[in-house]
Structure 1
Amino acid sequence: MKQIPEVGVLGKSPPTKPRAPSARRRRLSWRYAVCSLIAGYVVYCYTFSLPLFAHLLPEYSGPYSVGAVDIEVPVASPRVVDTARLKGTKENAFELETVLFTIYYPAAQNAVSQKPKHYWIEKPLSATTEGYAKFSHISNFIVNKFLAGAVGALVGSIRIPAQVDVPLADLVTAVTEIPETRDDIQEVKKVIQIADGGHPVIVFSHGMSSSRTSYTHYAGELASRGYVVVALEHRDGSCPGSIIMKNGDPDKTKLLFVVSEVKSASGKDLTIPEFKRAQLDFREAEIEEAVRVLKLINEGQGDEIFKKNPRGEGADLKNWKGRLNTDDMVVAGHSYGATGAMQALHGGPSAKRPFKGAVILDPGKHSGRLNDDIRVPLLVVHSNSWSSSVSLFYGRPHFDSVRDIVENNALRGMPSWFATSLGTSHPSVTDAPLLEPLLLSWTTGARIDVYEGLRQYVHVSEDFLWFLTTGEKRGLLREKAEFPQYDEGRGFGVWKPGQGRGDTETEGWRRYWQVHVSPN
């Protein structure tokens, strides 16, 4: 029989030796703490509509607020650009029905939208994630569902910071109209000179497995500096998933497709060069349609464009009459989009492609031959990874082919530049590194801070756009070409700032750039 414990003074039990917490209790406490932190973080993200792991897109840094409007309208002449057909459905692979783009533009001061901001990935997410699964050759019912859920948790709640469907900013006609109290007065004065005759227009073409929302920060930064940037979404098989909308018709989803999924009208398989040619022809047709729509808006038909737009945006387009410079546009693109932008310069400028200059970012290595019939000023920028990786391109190094195109354009009397952005990688100009900086740096080898890398792209593009309007060379455009080839030994973090020069501005440029071709 157990003895009853002895009762101490005032009914208290006698002191006992405290027991050390067991290992089991320590493990439970550790797990409890971790689970509590995770649960708290999830609740916090849910409460404030934040993504679980990704960073939010930053606000824009220019003197203007930024607006955004999605426009999709039927093309002037619906047509089949190429007769190739999809093997599975027998549908025309390159049928042009509508053109879709997002306009990023300088917005009126203090304008507040009554509409929610655009999602970075358009709903439904499954249209995009299924396309990515196809691109990775892992598409099936289970994988597609898993990817949709995973992408939704990672970035599904992220929105683009631009205000939706707000009025276009007025052009200030005199410096005296600017309040001297503004901190960014010098930036605003620059915009006045740039925007004389209407806001400059840039038509931007996205790369392979990308969409019109893949470059929103680059586009928004330029818009915050007075430019109107038209971000196209291509339906040539390169976009993971695009929703085609027409008033009165059900929506259609067009997923990414590759050469093995199409055949000619006679039933033969297409060669890769034939497939690439069809895609580039389709992109060129979409670029021309976007130019047509912009001209209609500038001519005062904005209300008609709004009525034709099934996405329900563009209510203020009727007030854009005469406020865009649609006679001297700029074409730009990244990767496959850079190849497409160069293609759009063939035989130009023309009424359908009124481009007075081009910004070419990492022109494609596997997207077909690069057009060398260019007769406008040209800025070509390679990421560090694009220049440092030697790739054969139709029998010779890709770098040499690009350099020769730029040099030949300069020999025609067109001011042209070719430079490498040090420390960057191929995706550095996209939004991806801003959303997942650690992951993208680890997987792509980029060594530059993601914000600084994108900032460098924006600044050199802005300086080139400034040159097109004023003829003034500033920043990197003032530098001489000192690198006929990319020099790994003087790359990012190796070539010290100010080497060979003493002025402060040059020190900054030399840390981040190598110039290969310059008119100086």
Structure 2
Amino acid sequence: MEHHVKQPRWILHRTTRWHSLLHDAAIILRPRLSWRYLLVSTVVIYISYCFIRGSPLFASKLPAYTGQHEVGTIDLEIPLKQPRLISNTQFKDGTGPAFQVETVLFSLYYPAIKGAKAHKRHTWVPKPIALRAEGYAQAIHMNNFITRGIFTFGLWVVVGGIEIPAKVDVPILGTDDEKNHDAYPVMVFSHGTVASRTDYSNYCGELASRGYIVAALEHRDGSGPATNILSKQKKERKIFHFGESHLRSDPPMDEPQLKKEQLAFREAEIEETIAVLRRINAGEGPDVYKHNLRKEGHCLHNWGDRIDLNHLIIGGHSYGATGALQALKAGPNSTSIPAIGGVALDPGKSSGPLNHKVDVPLLVVHSDSWSAKYSLFEGRPHFDTVRDLVDSVLDRVGAGWFVTSLKTSHPSVTDAPLIEPLLLSWTTGASINVYEGLREYVKVTSEFFEYLKTGERKGILAEEITHPEYGRDNRTEDRKESMGKDITKYWQIHVAPPAE
């Protein structure tokens, strides 16, 4: 006799939705040796790790600054009273003059009071990300719906969540101390081609953490990927990377003329930045805040006499280094750019002629890749041209240095190696630890600041020539033994004043 007993549902296989889901999940998650399974598992684990750590996907967060001070930052976009027309060159699309300065945009990095609370942080790629993505697509001459989408998605995934560690709009150091109202030396810094003001945030922030103010410019000369020009009428004008083919002029635009007009435009932006710094230092911070189109700077009312414009340096990287040299041509007695020194990091190999008439102390730093690669420039090796330029400054002024940072590459002073250390090392050949490389750039710049203020040569600036040519060591064995390993490991010195 058969007995048909109904079994409870909890012991029936696949009789409940949850049991079915758990059974399917067990099958999916069961370890296998297939490459697909390993790949998917690795990606899931990595994404989970980034989520838990709060890190961006496929990239590293920007590190905290290492100097003795906390760092603040303020974005300033100040309209000029009257636009400055640099040339009559027009855009072919009929949107107006290509080289007219309407506003000046820069990020201030400065030593901030300890423990100040900020309500926000600046993202490394300013929003909207799609604007920068379209600029990159334009720069590689592939600006279409598909590439814009790919670039936008790629930027959002890799760097969209990265923040600059400086605190936005917090009081400058000494605001809460009646006895400490020091004025801080200042650098106006100019970025390279297809770059922007945020690409050097670590270099600028590290200097600020050591007691300096840095105004990192964003140029609107068509050399960057993309930028928004704001106006009082709340209208935005987008400027994307452009070249000769986008311009109309008489005679027709060519590359040398484009570089000439871009450098003149950059010089005008440097002048306008210094004019804004003067107003802030003169106690006009509240008025600057009122007219700031980026709506930051409410703490500028405490900046009177805090910017030491008597110790002003003009600096830059790549095309920005070429622009910095250009801006120094007027000398220290200039009323518009009264700089007492210049810092040129990898002056450009394809950014137009270098200005040789520099009558202030000058520090030129080459990356290893910049010195090692033979390049013709103005009919001569680029290295020889730069060395002769610094030699001429040394002869006239008595203070000029030309050095090579060993094991570095052209992007080493930017934030890129910090965000993507493995990718940048693989693509550029830099073998130095990315944090060490940037540390050395900051260190030698700080030593140059100190030299200009005190006249005392320290660190690498206290050394004589070690390599008159790149790779050709002229030191005696005794000198090799006596030199500090921290200099021998990281530097070659090509031009320097005699030892004191």
TM-score for both structures, normalised by structure 2: 0.89
Whole-angstrom CA distance in 2 between matches of 1:413 and 1:69 = 35
Match of 1:300 in 2: 283
Is 2:354 aligned against 1:370? Answer: yes
Per-residue CA deviation, residues 27-82 of structure 1 (Å, 9 max, x unaligned), is: 47775564344234324534654311001000000000000100001023212211
In the alignment, is the contact (CA less than 8 A) between 1:108 and 1:169 conserved in 2? yes
Asked if structure 2 preserves the Cα contact closer than 8 Å seen for 1:375 and 1:414, the reply is no
Q: 2:336 aligns with which of 340, 352, 358?
A: 352
Moved more, 252-261 or 59-68: 252-261
State which of 163, 180, 186 in structure 2 corresponds to 1:159: 163
Q: How does 1:188-337 map to 2 (within 5 A)?
A: 198-264=183-249, 266=250, 268-337=251-320
Aligned twin of 1:476 = 460
Partner of 2:401: 417
Distance 2:455 2:408 in 1: 28
2-structure distance, mates of 1:347, 1:310: 31
What is the distance in 1 between the residues matched to 2:269 and 2:397? Answer: 29
Q: Are 2:485 and 1:507 equivalent residues in the alignment?
A: yes
Shift of 1:449: 1.0
RMSD between superposed Cα atoms in Å: 2.4
The aligned residue for residue 383 of structure 2 is: 399
Q: CA deviation at 1:341?
A: 0.3
Give how far 1:92 is off. 1.1
Q: Partners of 2:242 and 2:54 in 1: how far apart?
A: 33
On the 8 A contact 2:76/2:296 being kept in 1, the answer is: yes
Corresponding residue SS for 1:331: strand
Which residue type is aligned with residue 150 of structure 1? Answer: G
Aligned length: 469
Counterpart mapping for 1:431-450 below 5 A: 431-450=415-434
User: How far did residue 484 of structure 1 move?
Assistant: 1.6
Q: 1:307 Cα deviation (Å)?
A: 0.8
Change (3 A) 1:92 1:46: farther
Q: 1:64 aligns with which of 64, 69, 92?
A: 69
Query: Which whole-Å deviations, capped at 9, do the CAs of 1:247-289 have from their partners, x for residues lacking one?
Result: 223122111111221121x4x4212111100000000000000
Where does residue 97 of structure 2 map in the other structure? 92
For structure 2, the 5+ residue unaligned runs are 1-26
Q: Is the 2:322–2:348 Cα contact (8 Å) retained in structure 1? A: yes
**1:501–1:507 Cα contact (<8 Å) kept:** no
Superimposed CA distance per residue, residues 397-450 of structure 1 (whole angstroms, 9 cap, x where no aligned partner): 111111111111111133110011110000000000000011001111111111
Normalising by structure 1, we get a TM-score of 0.86
- Secondary structure of the residue aligned to 2:340 is strand
CA contact (8 A) 2:425 2:431 kept: yes
SS of equivalent to 1:82 = coil
CA distance in 1, matches of 2:209, 2:41: 41
Matching of residue 119 in structure 1 with residue 119 in structure 2? no
Q: Write out per-residue CA displacement over residues 119-160 of structure 1, whole angstroms, 9 at most, x where no aligned residue.
A: 000001111111111111222111101110011100110000
Name the CA distance, whole Å, in 2 between partners of 1:468 and 1:32. Answer: 60
Aligned partners of 2:162, 2:473: CA distance in 1, in Å?
38
- Matched-pair contact (CA < 8 Å) for 1:335–1:363: yes
| Compared CA separation, residues 102 and 26, structure 1 to 2 (3 A) | closer
2:88 match? 83
2:3 aligns with none
Whether the 8 Å CA contact 2:129–2:152 is kept in 1: the answer is yes
Distance 2:340 2:383 in 1: 25
Aligned residue identity for 1:244: I
Structure 1 contact 105–228 (Cα < 8 Å) conserved: yes
Match of 2:22 in 1: none
Tell me the CA shift for residue 317 of structure 1: 0.4
Residue 28 and residue 443 in structure 1: after superposition, are their counterparts in 2 closer, same or farther (change >3 A)? closer
Whole-angstrom distance in 1 between the partners of 2:466 and 2:225: 40
The verdict on how the C-alpha distance between 1:39 and 1:84 changes in structure 2, with shifts beyond 3 A counting, is: same
Deviates more, 1:60-69 or 1:137-146: 137-146
> Does residue 39 in structure 1 map to residue 44 in structure 2?
yes
Contact 2:113 2:175 in 1 (8 A): no
Superposition misfits of 4+ residues, deviation over 6 angstroms: 171-174
% identical equivalent positions: 49
- The 3 A distance-change label for structure 1 pair 474 and 172 is farther
The verdict on how the C-alpha distance between 1:361 and 1:108 changes in structure 2, with shifts beyond 3 A counting, is same
SS at match of 1:288: helix
